[in-house]
Every structure is written in C-alpha cells, then in structure tokens.
Chain A
Amino acid sequence: MEQILLKNVEGAKLADINNYTAVGGYESAKKAITSMTIAQIIDEVKKSGLRGRGGAGFPAGMKWDFVPKDFKGPRYLCCNADEGEPGTFKDREILEKNPHLLIEGMIIASYAIGAELSFIYIRGEFVKAANTLESALDQARKQGFLGERIFGTDKKIDIVVHRGAGAYICGEETALIESIEGERGNPRVRPPFPAVVGVFSKPTVVNNVETLAAVPSIIKNSGQWYAAIGVPPKNTGSKLYAVSGHVNKPGVYELPMGTTLKDLIYNYAGGIKGNKKLKGVIPGGSSTPVLLPEEIGVSMDFDSLAKAGSMLGSAAVIVMDEDVCTVEESLRLSEFYAHESCGQCTPCREGTVWMTKILDRIEQGKGEQGDIELLERVSANIMGNTLCPLGDAAAMMMLGFLKKFKDEFALHIKSGRCPIHKK
C-alpha cells in the first residue's frame, strides 16, 4: 500500500508549503471548493467508508451529514488534536511533519459542513506542534488557501489553534467543546449532540487529526479508491498504528487497516526487546482491554477487535514482556483515570479512586480475600453509569486485566507480596 498520511514525511520537509504544493498539495482542497458541491463531497467521504480515527470509529461522512442543512448562522469544525490516550502518539507525526495535509483536510471538511471558522484543539504540552501549525496556517493564508475569498471564490474559511492545558478529559468531544468555550472540561449531557448544539451552541463537527488528514486523498482519488484499501466494506483505508513498550522498534506505522497485531509487533516493530516472551498487549490505547499472546492473530480493525472482546480505539499498541507485573501496570493506569476524572459523575470520581486504593494494597502485598470480586463490582458499577466514556474506559481496562491475569492478582493476595518484584 502506498502511504497516504506519512508519505514523504521523513525527507521532504512538508511543513514548508512550497514543498507540500510541489507534490500536489492543496489540489484536493482547490478541487473541492471550486468544482464540487457539498453533497458530492459528503457522498465521496461516505463512499470511502472513512471511520473516525479518534477511537469511536463513527463514519465521518455520516457525522458531517448530521449538521442541519437549514440552520441559519455559523457552524463550526473542531479538530481533535488532544492526543491524550496513554500509548497514543500518532497525531503528532501529522501535526509536526505534515501539518498542511491536516489543514487541507480541514478546509474541505469546513466547506462540507458550512463552517467559516474552525478550531484545532491541541494538547497544551505540544508546543512545538502548535508552533508548526501556526506557521503552516500563516503560509496557507498568504497563498489564499485560507481567509477571505479562498481559491478565488467568495468563500471564507479560517482556522484557529486552541491550546489545551493538561486535561485528558478534553479529548472527549463535549469536554473539548467546553474547553474551547473557556470552561472547565466537564462533558455535557447528550442529546443534544454536537452536530445540532455544539461549540458556542452552534452545529459542530468534531473530528480527529488522522480522520481529517485522510480527506484530501479521498477527494483526489475518489471514495471508491479509499474503500478498496484495508478490510472493505466497513474497515477501510490506511491506519496509523503507534507501537510502544517492550519492542525493538517502537514507532508509528502507517499500514492498511486490518494488519494483524502479530505482524505489527513481530515484523514492523521488530519483535520483543531482548528476545523475551510476550506477556500481554493493549491493542488500542490504555482504555482497551488487554489481549494475551494467543490472541495476537487478530486483525487490527474496528470490528475484528470488537469481536475479540477489545477495541481498536486509537490503535495505540502497548506491548508488555514477560517481566511485567500486571497488577502494577493496572494500578498505574487506575491512578491515571482517578487523576483525570473530571469529578462530575459519582461512579467515576469515587470508583476510580476506590479501584486505585484496592490495587495499591494488592501490589503492596496487603490485598484481602474478596478484593478481586470487589474490583469487579466497582468496575461494573462505573460501567454505563457516567456521562462520558472516561468511567467506562477505566472499567474496561480493569475488567480486561482481571479477566486475562486473574491468577496473578490472586497470587499477590495469597502470597502477601508482589510475586514479580519481590520473589
């Protein structure tokens, strides 16, 4: 497969607009704005089968189509560049090395939903990426690709970089919207959905960086072309897989959707460091249930991973070798969720802290009989009882570790010590 998102990024300095246009950059935006109707664009994106790359996998074309056509007044596009899910470092590749591809995708998406102003919500820590984007936006404005009368038409589209300030929850779309509005990042009650009542109470589409960056290639080559890549009809296109943890070659790999987890770990990422054995792998970011070595034949796409009892999520593959203590790692993640819970919903706010306390005592060798069942009960009581998926994420993580490594948890409790760190 020819790369779509990371093609030429290593040598070509695509953050410079001259290099980007030299390889055909902004041709798709020009084509869309000057020769296509909104309906044609949405139709191509629907045909492509492109699904949201942020984690939920919602069809992008359908999301755009939900924006009420008869709404009078502004609509907004928000690009989610919060990249907060532990294990995920894929969008930074686009933001720093191919920013114009994202901007071009945003111009097309803005036009398709009728937005004149769009936001890139970028996590506050990504200072370098934010600066790269600002300078890329300036270059695009100077070329007449952004601002008033773009590509010589009467259309007006501009983009603002909005920096977050350190809150995982702001990757959740309604919390992201609150954060753009200058509020605490507390998720909203749905319905109404953002497509109807979003940022500044106006119709809003929130798309992930990788989703938007795929759009120019679809407009250039057709939806049908994109839909032939990967595992058609429902898991199409290329995917950025970010592999971290105990592998020889961690990194971001752009491959056809549906590459197997085994191929990713042992072929692309060069296998387990020090020739150790694989103990477990989290396939799609910290919130997705962990898989065992015998399960890595799974195809890395939305539907196959769901069938395997996990999720593609953000496709952030976290690899753990045989020396890892799964109680310790789930404790680390539980602490993370407790820290990042916005505190609005009681099950999440209290449950994640409770979970952390229990895991901590198990790891300290002070676990009690019944702690495993208690962890299961706490998780079950968070699941589905919160406004946003942060609580679910913590519960899914916990239940995944308990299901796959119950014996190790039990051994901690029975022997009164961590059998891995204190043999």
Chain B
Amino acid sequence: MIQFSQSAKDKVEALKRTYPTKDACLLPVLHIAQKEFGYISPEVMEYVAGVIGVSPARVYGVATFYTMYNKKPVGKYHVQVCTNISCHLEGSAKIVDTLKSVLGIEEGQTTKDNMFTLATVECLGACGFGPVVQINDDYYEQCTEQKVKEIIEGLRKK
C-alpha cells in the first residue's frame, strides 16, 4: 500500500489546521500527492480520500476536473507548450513540431526512456514572452526552434 513520506504527512496536518474545513485541503493535498507519487492514479485518489476523510468519488471528481493533476504517468520532464493566441501568433506551432521531431513522439506521448512527455496546453499567463514552454515547474520564454533543441539536449545530459 502507498503512503506519504513523513514530511508530506506533516504538511497535510498543517493544512488541516489552516483551512476552515477538511474538504478545502483537497487541492493542496493532491498537489502534494503528485509530487510524492508522480501522478494521480486511482490508488492515489483512494489514499488521498482516506487521508482527508472524504469519499474517493469526490477525489476522482476533483482530480479529473483540473488538468494539472496527471491521471497518467508522465516522464521525468513534462514538456508543455502553450498554443493559445499570443504564443500562436509568435509561432508556437513550429515549436510543437520541433519538439515532436526532437523527441520522436506525438502530443500526449512519453519517450520510451520515460524522460519526456510532450503536451500542448492553454494560456500559461506569460503572453508577452511567447512562445512559452513549461517544463515541470519552470517557464522557458521567447522560445525559438534552436532554443528548444538546446533545452532538450541540456536536459538529456543532466
């Protein structure tokens, strides 16, 4: 059976003391769960439900509503390209094509070595610095085809 680490358990307890209701801890606890387990599987949903004291159905409903909770495993680097209007005007389509060819995968797929998952996403709120690519927690702005190739190379060597 899966379990949170001690530091995650401590964070959950702190959240329970902070929020006026236990239900309100659900979004932050799901964020913690994703960091701990990599993605939100049905097993994780059930575990989170037990930790907070709500039904697994409730957790399922919430986890599936929000796109940032990965319901499937993702690679070590989750590469997300903004394709909304401002980034699109700045050429995000070319960035997506470049990443597809560099990584050898299509959107929504993960490389065989589990290093990279490629996705397109809606507006990331960095519209003046497009095209924008988010990799895990970091924003890469004003991307060019050359720049994203170098970024991927850099991550491969890490």
Using CB atoms and an 8 Å cutoff, list the residues of chain A in contact with chain B. Answer: 74, 83-89, 91-92, 117, 123-128, 160, 162-168, 179-185, 200, 242-246, 250-252, 282, 286, 316, 318-320, 324, 329, 332-333, 336, 339-340, 342
Complex CA–CA separation, A162 to B27 (angstroms): 8
Residue B122 at the A interface, CB < 8 A? yes
Complex CA–CA separation, A204 to B93 (angstroms): 42
A291: min CB distance to chain B, Å: 15
Complex CA–CA separation, A346 to B158 (angstroms): 48
- Asked if residues A117 and B20 are in contact (CB atoms below 8 Å), the reply is yes
Complex CA–CA separation, A91 to B68 (angstroms): 21
- Asked if residues B125 and A83 are in contact (CB atoms below 8 Å), the reply is yes
- Asked if residues A332 and B84 are in contact (CB atoms below 8 Å), the reply is yes
When distances are taken between beta carbons in the complex, the residues of chain B under 8 Å from A282 are 85
Name the contact of A182 in the complex, choosing from B24, B88, B126, B130 (C-beta under 8 A).
B24
When distances are taken between beta carbons in the complex, the residues of chain B under 8 Å from A180 are 24
Name the contact of B137 in the complex, choosing from A85, A128, A164 (C-beta under 8 A).
A128
- Asked if residues B128 and A246 are in contact (CB atoms below 8 Å), the reply is no
- Asked if residues B89 and A165 are in contact (CB atoms below 8 Å), the reply is no
Complex CA–CA separation, A332 to B139 (angstroms): 22
Name the contact of B127 in the complex, choosing from A74, A124, A242 (C-beta under 8 A).
A242
Complex CA–CA separation, A207 to B10 (angstroms): 31
Using CB atoms and an 8 Å cutoff, list the residues of chain B in contact with chain A. Answer: 18-21, 23-28, 30-31, 54, 61-62, 65-69, 83-86, 88-90, 121-130, 134, 137-139
Known: A88-B125, A333-B85. A167 touches B62 (CB 8 A): no
When distances are taken between beta carbons in the complex, the residues of chain A under 8 Å from B20 are 74, 117, 200
When distances are taken between beta carbons in the complex, the residues of chain B under 8 Å from A251 are 128
- Asked if residues B27 and A86 are in contact (CB atoms below 8 Å), the reply is no
Known: A125-B134, A182-B24, A340-B122. A165 touches B84 (CB 8 A): no
- Asked if residues B67 and A86 are in contact (CB atoms below 8 Å), the reply is no
Chain A, Cβ-Cβ closest to B26: A182
- Asked if residues B89 and A245 are in contact (CB atoms below 8 Å), the reply is yes
Q: A127-B138, A286-B123 are in contact. List 17 more A-B contacts (CB 8 A).
A: A86-B84, A86-B122, A86-B127, A124-B66, A125-B125, A160-B18, A165-B66, A166-B121, A167-B67, A182-B21, A184-B62, A244-B89, A286-B84, A286-B85, A318-B127, A329-B85, A329-B88
- Asked if residues A87 and B127 are in contact (CB atoms below 8 Å), the reply is yes
- Asked if residues B61 and A184 are in contact (CB atoms below 8 Å), the reply is yes
A231: min CB distance to chain B, Å: 25
Complex CA–CA separation, A86 to B20 (angstroms): 33
Complex CA–CA separation, A184 to B54 (angstroms): 14
Complex CA–CA separation, A286 to B86 (angstroms): 9
B19: min CB distance to chain A, Å: 8
When distances are taken between beta carbons in the complex, the residues of chain A under 8 Å from B121 are 166
When distances are taken between beta carbons in the complex, the residues of chain A under 8 Å from B89 are 244-246, 318-320, 324, 329
A339: min CB distance to chain B, Å: 6
Known: A124-B31, A245-B86. A183 touches B62 (CB 8 A): yes
**A83, A168, A183 — which one has the most chain B CB atoms within 10 A of its CB?**
A183
Name the contact of B85 in the complex, choosing from A89, A167, A250, A332 (C-beta under 8 A).
A332
Chain B, Cβ-Cβ closest to A320: B89
Complex CA–CA separation, A324 to B125 (angstroms): 22
- Asked if residues A127 and B137 are in contact (CB atoms below 8 Å), the reply is yes
When distances are taken between beta carbons in the complex, the residues of chain B under 8 Å from A127 are 137-138
